[in-house]
Amino acid sequence: MVQKVEKIWMDGRFIPWEEANIHILTHSLHYGLAVFEGIRCYLCHDGRSAVFRLREHIDRLFDSAQIGEIKIPFSKREITEACKETLRVNQLKEGYIRPIVFIGEGVMGVYPGDNPVRVSIITWSWGTYLGEGAIEKGIRVKVSSYTRHHVNVMMTKAKICGNYVNSVLAKREAMKLGYDEALMLDTEGYVSEASGENIFMVKNGLLKTTPLTSILPGITRDSVIRIARLKKIPVVEEKFTRDELYTAQEAFFTGTAAELTPIREVDDRTIGDGKPGPITRELQSAFFNVVRGKEPEFVEWLDYL
């Protein structure tokens, strides 16, 4: 359950949690065209709070809207400030921020006409996304029976709500079968992404991740690539297959919610010795140092409250 907070930002003003409701004729609810972001704010080592890579998340929100032909009725600066203000008014020192831009009520039918574009920002406390112990011990992953989107069927670079029907189906299937997360293959059969994460694998010291062609350009993915480069860990963006992943020595997921979560098993094959490997651990601890403001090289990624 999402822990209740006092206020939700809706269309430019704060309203009480209980009043943050929408009409049943909200166009996005029926046809799935809405865009959103997932952002984290961390309590830093010096007691201040900082939102991680807020600028990049707001840029991606506006890119998603551009792809979906949705005109956001606020500036980037206004949305950026509203994200931080929503944390402040709810007295959250650490938490998750969910801006969502959706098409409101007016006409029905697939064509959205001039229905109003509405924006809301919700914040809440969110711990480990992929379950108890996931960050420390790693998770069990299943290659999904659902294929990830084709680039001309859904807009894979946009964080469009409707895209997540594929994620929900895949995630539910994996959970029902007793796994923690679903990994999807692309329409050519190469490894793509998980229901809400990008993937990395390690073999013989080389870090490999899926190219951006048909996946969401993850901000955590980008952060890990940059951290790896600084640490002189070789990293390539290259397609790989599920059998290559089966023989990886290490693998992990990245995502704002999932952070850096090790993978200890794929389709019942143990990855490495079934524990987070040395490169995974090194990147994971560097990542948590970065988000908590302990790495001076990356402080420009932090937007202090």
What are the catalytic residues? 159
Count Cβ neighbours within 10 Å for each residue of 216-226 and write b for 16 or more, e otherwise.
Answer: bebbbbbbbbe
Minimum CB distance to ligand PMP smaller for 115 or for 198: 198
Q: How far is the CB of 72 from ligand PMP (least distance, A)?
A: 18
Q: Should residue 198 be labelled a site residue for ligand PMP when binding is judged by CB under 6 A?
A: yes
Subset of 208-247 contacting ligand PMP (CB under 6 A): 216, 218-221
User: Segment 108-167, which members bind ligand PMP (CB under 6 A)?
Assistant: none
Instruction: Report how far residue 70's alpha carbon sits from residue 255's, in angstroms, rounded to the nearest whole number.
Output: 25
Is residue 48 a contact partner of residue 291, using CB atoms and an 8 Å limit? no
**CB-count exposure of residue 126 (10 Å: 0-12, 13-18, 19+):** middle
Nearer to ligand PMP, 44 or 97 (CB): 97
Q: Any alpha helices (H) in 42-128, and if so which ranges?
A: 54-67, 76-89
* Ranges within 11-50 binding ligand PMP (CB under 6 A): 38
Q: Are 14 and 21 in contact (CB under 8 A)?
A: no
Interaction of residue 197 with ligand PMP, rule CB under 6 A: yes
**What does the DSSP assignment read for 234-283?**
-EEE----HHHHHT-SEEEEEETTTEEEEEEEETTEEPTTSS--HHHHHH
Q: Does 97 bind ligand PMP (CB under 6 A)?
A: no
Size of the site for ligand PMP (CB under 6 A): 13
Is 118 or 149 the residue whose CB approaches ligand PMP more closely? Answer: 149
Stretch that binds ligand PMP, among 23-31, 236-244, 253-261, 271-279 (CB under 6 A): 253-261
Cβ proximity of 248 and 138 under 8 Å: no
Non-local CB neighbours of 225 within 8 Å, separated by 6+ positions: 209, 235, 237
Q: Does 80 bind ligand PMP (CB under 6 A)?
A: no
Q: Which of 123, 256, 261, 280 binds ligand PMP (CB under 6 A)?
A: 256
Q: Is 193 a binder of ligand PMP (CB under 6 A)?
A: yes
Q: Which parts of this chain interact with ligand PMP (CB under 6 A)?
A: 38, 193, 196-198, 216, 218-221, 254-256
